[in-house]
Chain A
Amino acid sequence: MVDPAGTGALEAALRARRDTGGKCLVPYLTGGLGEWLSVLQAAAAAGADAVEVGIPFSDPVMDGPVIQEASELALRAGADPPAILDALGRTEVGVPTAVMTYANLVDRAGWTRFASSLAAAGVSGAILPDIPLEETGPWCAAADAAGVETVLLAAPTAPDDRLERIVARSRGFVYAVGLLGVTGERSTLADSATVIARRLKDVTDLPVLVGVGISTPEQAVEVCEVADGVVVGSAVVRRVLESGAGPASAEVVAELVASFRQALDAG
């Protein structure tokens, strides 16, 4: 449960890392795709502070080609939200998890029912990229009541006063969108990543993690000169897809996560 100070398991784990001088690492993977539960456990064991699990949606407007493809494959293989949450609830991960999905899957289940099902599955956080600040009311009420930490996104386009309202409502951490664009790998770190991280650090004590466009350990280290950590999505999912999403994908992802961990620890 979220205690009165608003600190749940997700935020506690990230603060613990940061407060001992480390940088937070949160890989993302697509739920329901191939051997995703093994990938999840492998990512956690390789040094993730928390793991973000995507529940695939038919129309993921915040996602680029890699996560779109993973979502389509998972849906074609029959992935559905209750089955993914059920499997998550039966899996020992070792670190907190956060679910990333889109508003319609939540709305279809019902805000309250979905929030309860996250809590029942032991999921700590929720990231809903098409529920911006103004639309968070009903969801946050349900999530708060169920003890689920709602992570809000903060984008480079937001004026300062909007960032302040976003960090005030965000729980777990604040997800700094590193660039103007959808998820996907980029060859270099966008200048906007450091800028948004700095602007957020100036207005909040919440952990500030940068996601979208963080593709390599070098980019992670660079942005973590300012940010408290990174979310790494497409780089992970691309490797899952390249290894056929089968048993080998766990090992490949473990290697990738470990390389991020080492780089961040070496600073």
Chain B
Amino acid sequence: MMGEPDETGRFGEYGGRFVPETLVPALIELDRGFREAWADPAFRSELDSLLADYAGRPSPLTECHRLSAELGVRVLFKREDLNHTGSHKINNVLGQALLARRMGKTRLVAETGAGQHGVATATAAALLGMECLVYMGEVDIARQELNVFRMRLLGAEVTPARSGSRTLKDAVNEAMRDWVATVEHSHYCLGSVMGPHPYPWMVREFHRVIGSEAAVQCRTLLGGPPDVVVACVGGGSNAAGIFSGFAEDPSVELVGVEPAGGAAVGRGVPGIVHGMRSYLMQDEFGQVLEAHSISAGLDYPGVGPEHSHLASSGRATYHQVVDAEVVDAFVLASRTEGIIPALEPAHALAWVVRERESLSGRTVLINMSGRGDKDVAQMMDVLADRI
């Protein structure tokens, strides 16, 4: 479980490389470049140093005493929200930016939903002195203006995606179109465990550090693994990262939580978009449906192919929560733990809250994948009557 994909870039029957011909040689080169770098102690050591001295790893494991008492479930947070730039996204971006530089690329192109991946990419570009262009759906630009400003402050260009649903899916389309035209000097710094091979595998490997750290931290705190590991799933990168630390142990339940309005595993069927075969929300003719979620970071109709495989094989289960449950969880974590979560990991907590009776007495590790600063402006409106 959660090893390398096969030679066609598939996890089971999911994955592959469904992209315009122009990009195939670049993907082959990227696959080779990543394999070489990942096996090179010098590359690993440079990345580890950046993760420690720049991004602040290892991220802590926090035992949530008041929240646990409230729910009757022992809850631990893996604190990816404490990373530099405020989410787990920095793990992947530092890896890809170093790799891009090693491969002679001078420009990073990225898509972003909530803006967390865009901010992380802009940060890495500033750190390494690279050019950076981030595509972001027009709808997301309006609801995440703080992150837009952050990216521009960091020296990145932010270009609105104005087609289709004007959210994350369309930002991915624009980034791929950009890459088709600029592939010789640009690296597409994809922000999740999705897209064509080798991205789903490579991005998961860059996030494996989350699961590896958490496994060690749980052993120290609990003497063994938790009973359940829960993470939110849009494309699925933070979930893939934390799952990878526990997938080998069949006693650990792996749970992915999707927004009801963007539940590719829960409401989709297998399809092909953005370079991969995976579960996809689509109509009877294969047109991709628009996702709708309170969280821009999960507003995506597809999901990374490895999650489709984990779901099909039964190794992980996937559940849905609705926006109202997410808002309650957002408040709950703030009030009981003094941790304002991003709306994305609030999905994971919302599922635990709903399932607290069946989880009673068990130990649950939640990946707190990002902090809620970026969502505060939006939540001021949503919570106007309550706070």
Contact = CB atoms under 8 A, between A and B. Distances in A.
B273 interface: yes
A132 B177 contact: no
Interface residues of A, number: 43
A68 B18 contact: no
Contacts of A182: 20, 177, 180-181
B282 A104 contact: yes
B287 A132 contact: no
A177 B22 contact: yes
A241 interface: no
Given A61-B173, A108-B282, A135-B16, A155 B21 contact: yes
A55 B176 CA distance: 20
B334 interface: no
Nearest to A153: B21
A190 B176 CA distance: 21
Contact of A180 (B16, B184, B287): B184
Chain B residues touching A, range: 35 or more
Contacts of A75: 287
Interface of B, helix, strand, loop or mixed by DSSP: mixed
A102 B286 CA distance: 10
A135 B163 contact: no
A119 B24 CA distance: 29
B141 to A, nearest CB: 19
Nearest to B286: A108
A131 interface: yes
A156 B271 CA distance: 28
Contacts, number: 122
A158 B285 contact: no
In the complex, which of the residues B16, B180, B183 has the most CB atoms of chain A within 10 Å of its own CB atom? Answer: B180
Interface in B170-216: 170, 173, 176-177, 180-184
B272 A155 contact: no
A57 B288 CA distance: 8
B371 interface: no
Nearest to B16: A135
A157 B284 CA distance: 35
Contacts of A104: 271-273, 280, 282, 286, 288
Given A108-B285, A181-B181, A59 B22 contact: no
Contacts of B180: 61-62, 180-182
A103 B18 contact: yes
Contact of B19 (A58, A130, A152): A130
B181 to A, nearest CB: 4
A130 B272 contact: yes
In the complex, which of the residues A58, A81, A103 has the most CB atoms of chain B within 10 Å of its own CB atom? Answer: A58
Contacts of A62: 20, 177, 180
A105 interface: yes
B41 interface: no
B285 A153 contact: no
B164 interface: yes
B285 A132 contact: no
A180 B271 contact: no
In the complex, which of the residues A107, A129, A133, A162 has the most CB atoms of chain B within 10 Å of its own CB atom? Answer: A107
A60 to B, nearest CB: 8
Contacts of B163: 68, 72
Given A80-B285, A180-B181, A134 B24 contact: yes
A133 B21 contact: yes
B25 A162 contact: yes
A109 interface: yes
Interface in A50-78: 57-62, 64, 68, 72, 75
Given A68-B163, A75-B287, A104-B282, A157 B18 contact: no
A129 B25 contact: no
A63 to B, nearest CB: 8
Interface string B260-283: 000000000011111101001010
17 contacts: A57-B286, A59-B273, A61-B19, A72-B163, A80-B285, A81-B285, A82-B285, A130-B18, A132-B20, A134-B24, A157-B26, A162-B24, A162-B25, A177-B20, A180-B182, A182-B20, A182-B180
Given A59-B169, A108-B282, A180-B181, 20 more contacts: A58-B164, A59-B170, A64-B177, A68-B163, A75-B287, A81-B286, A102-B272, A104-B271, A104-B280, A104-B282, A108-B284, A129-B21, A135-B16, A153-B21, A155-B22, A156-B22, A177-B20, A177-B22, A181-B177, A182-B181
Interface of B: 8, 16-26, 163-164, 169-170, 173, 176-177, 180-184, 270-275, 277, 280, 282, 284-288
